[in-house]
Amino acid sequence: MKNKFKILNSLIVFSISIFFFSACSTDDVSSQKTENLSLSRSLPPPTPGELRGLYDITFNNGSEANLLFEYYNYVSYGSPTLFDKTTISGFRTSYTNVSGNVYVFTCSDSGVNYNFRFTYDSDSAKMNGTYGTGSSYTNLGTFQGKKHITGNSGFEFLKGYWLGTYSGSYDYLMVFEEDGKVTVGTGATYYSSVIGKGFYQINGGAVSGYYVYPGGSKYSFIGQFNYLSKTITGTWGVGTNNNNGGSFSLGTMNFY
């Protein structure tokens, strides 16, 4: 995706601050574990039709963005991808289910509120809504979106929101987006994680890449696709080494 989100010459800044944790050491193979002390791999698996997942959003003015909906009513925004905005304070917030399949969230930018209301169709995994400023939910226009559903090969398989563990029990998540961009967290949710940013490449039925945490710690990874089980398993390491740290396993959160 991949235009700029041009509302009032400014990107929408969500109205809640990112929670930051201490960065990893670049020298210690075990240091990635300091990003996750809770061992909280307790989130239930996705169920058919639920809101959770990565969405491609298009606004009536033609601009585009990505939205990631998570458990605990968390939502993260990025334009053109989560990768591009994830380290900026305020781009992660919460949404409210006001009734039935109607949801709302409010964002702010330089003291101006932007209100979003949408209806989610669980049968098609699509949303349609309106957005506005001030007290209005409609005076800026409309938007529509669709959850990315895991495909059968290549990028269409890899794209989206993946959850699992590394080194046996530590929470691990990855969001693979367009243009080889990947964001990585070691918490139960993207919202609550310190996010590393990096790049990946697909080689047949495998993905490899690296990511760097805000403190400068760099990690590399390589994983194999299992199209039948919709999982990725592989190894990670420190710096440019992709196997001296341990193993990981991820499952897709991208389906109806």
**What mean pLDDT comes out for the span 22-26?**
35
Confidence category of residue 109, pLDDT binned at 50, 70, 90: low
Residue 75 lies in a domain: yes
Say if residue 176 is in the same domain as residue 234: yes
- Domain of 208? 154-252
Residue 3 lies in a domain: no
Residue 36 lies in a domain: no
Which two structure tokens, joined as six digits, stand for 150? 């895991």
3-state secondary structure 99-166: ECCEEEEEEEECCEEEEEEEEEECCCCEEEEEEEECCCCCCCEEEEEEECCCCCCHHHHHCEEEEEEE
Residue 168 lies in a domain: yes
Is a pLDDT exceeding 80 seen at residue 22? Answer: no
* The residue type at 165: T
Say if residue 171 is in the same domain as residue 135: no
Q: Could you tell me which of 11, 15, 32 has the C-alpha nearest to residue 23?
A: 32
| Tens of pLDDT, residues 214-236 | 999 999 999 999 999 999 999 99
Q: Taking the model in full, what pTM does it have?
A: 0.82
Neighbours of 192 (CB within 10 A): 18
CATH code assigned at 113 = 2.40.128.120
| Tens of pLDDT, residues 192-216 | 999 999 999 999 999 999 999 999 9
* Residue that has been written with the tokens 């409609």 in this structure: 138
